[in-house]
Structure 1
Amino acid sequence: MNGDKKPDSHVAVPVILIVDDEPGNIDLASSVLRPDYRIKAATNATTALKIIKADSNIDLILLDIMMPNINGFELCRQLKNDQTTADIPIIFLTAKSQVEDITQGFKLGAVDYITKPLQPDVLSARVKTHVQLHQTRKLLKSQVTTLEENARLREDIERLTHHDLKGPLGVILFELNKIDDKSVSNSIEESVTNLLNMINNSLDIFKIENGTYPLDPDMVDLKHTINRAIKSVRYLSKPKNITIKLIQKQDDLYALAEELLCLSIVNNLLKNAVEASPDNQTINIEVTEQEEMVSIRIENQGAIPEDLRDTIFEKYATSNLVRGSGLGAYSAKLMTEAQNGRIHFDVIDNQKTRFVVELPKY
């Protein structure tokens, strides 16, 4: 017995399966629901199972309890124990109205319970509610699956890109000693090193975002690391005649962290500082020791605009600026916190900006 309504070819009409051993009950429920749904019907559990296995698009089952051979409770149990059908919502449609019957139905996984004789408005309203919930869950599940697939694809692309790019760049670095002009050689080395750092960092950021980064902290010489970062931003600071000054009163200040992550943090913040600073100014970097942390302060002329101060650490917050991708402060925050550190900024007299990075002391 099947009273399918022909759906519009452009609209996914929800499918309702009515299972009842009384054809009159099927006809009544169908007449109420047919204007809005495609209707399938079965007069016993065996036929219902065949229909369900043949159609993976059933959105809801209206199920009678009192049927010969396999009753509604047993059919519900079978459907809920099968992974392919467990998510289909089931509404019991029956004359059994005892509390223990209703309770058993819910224990088996039914989403609702409608007693006979049918009230068309009640039937229509409850079916509509549960069909919408089911379709919303399917949509969310599909979106989650898509996001997971995209994440895996992105990571695969990142790995392939890293592998394909790092090889040629490594060859360039190896061959630099053959260039007689040391100024050209140094310039190429800085550029290649910056690019290698960007390649390494992109996958690190992705892993940190997803909580899969394998942190392996060790002793990091902050003075050495900061000097590397200063050298790497020379291509930005030199045209603006900006001096970068490192102040560190102690030579033996070490962080319990990862050198490449620390280099990236300082590099990103220094880039931002150079880009934000007026020409012919000085950027001061100060490294100090606290009780259990070491602190890196980077201070430059130029205040962060007021409309960016609340979102500066958000992804792409500064992507509307002339330079940069909007990831500098965001990635610095991710990398700092991934190493059990803290980061914040202060605007001084509305004329200067100071970023403060605190990392565990070695």
Structure 2
Amino acid sequence: MKKRILLSLAHMGGKEQDFIQEAFDTNWVVPLGPNVNGFEEDLEKYIGEGKQVVALSAGTAAIHLGLVLLGVQSSDEVICQSFTFAASANPIKYQGATPVFVDSERDTWNMDPVLLEKAILDRKEKTGKYPKAIIPVHLYGMPAKMDEIMAIANKYDIPVLEDAAEALGSNYKGRKCGTFGHFGVLSFNGNKIITTSGGGALICNSEKEAKETMFYATQARENAPHYQHEKIGYNYRLSNICAGIGRGQMMVLDEHMHRRQAIHKLYTELLKEAKGITVMKKPSDDFDSNFWLTCILVDPKKAGQTREEIADRLAQDNIETRPLWKPMHLQPVFKDTPMYVNGVSEALFNNGLCLPSGSLLTNEDIQRVVQVILEK
């Protein structure tokens, strides 16, 4: 059997075990400790803008706590990008609130600012109040049109919870994704640019917000000699062991990101003459994507083959792929949810494919993937 080519495999840098061993040697095998503090400091230095970072158990936990801190309740609506993974939307339901899904624009595949404003005004007309928050997503590492999104959010005084789970290292107009909104979200799942096995972080604007996040992430225990609880809390802190992996990964973050960008460039070059197949690209130099995953769109009429046929052929060659995210407004669990759609995300879902993009892949691996794609 041919070598297995995976979509996005975790890539260790070599120093991770040193931090883990230190945690064992000092018996810091709990959800707090020096590695957690060090990892947060590394992230704060990397993303800049004077932000405070709180390391958590998952990106989903970060979105949830962001909504908690924004005061989202059961009577509220929250606008969420439809073209995303379910973890962007599920925490809205955790709070008992109602998601309102907004479709994508074609340039970045992210939240359409025109539809966003339409949704805001229509929800105000229908419910008598504005949505409580807006969750745009930087999909596959491609920055959303944050200038337009933030301008609209500020116009109606609606806070933005920026989902940069797939976009660590990506920049929009020279500024790191995750730093535009009132809060930002990162993910360190096993398939991301860097990993802590499982984990995430909430990017906060102030030390006060960071402390409040830590409070809710550690079961909302009050400052008392006994166990005193006046608010509902959660067990969301990152473990000191996992944070040790993260500290080692931060040392190779830029290296891993540059490799994924090089892989995207190679795919683009190798597929430039392929009829009916287009590689996702940045709209302009304002959008500096980490290209976490390289994605293609397949026009069946021009390509003479469908997305499914390409995926099946790659699978037979022991190569892993994945369709693009199925939009949230098409998911059965959200079938009765308000939505503002234009057909863009549905077309992307029907014709898009994520290709192997992990930083461990060689140029020969990428060439093999392309060779199979071009075979009919």
**Greater fraction of residues in helix:** 1
**Greater fraction of residues in strand:** 1
Q: TM-score range by the shorter chain?
A: under 0.3
- Using structure 2 for the length normalisation, give the TM-score: 0.24
- Higher relative CO (CA 8 A, sep ≥ 6), structure 1 or 2? 2
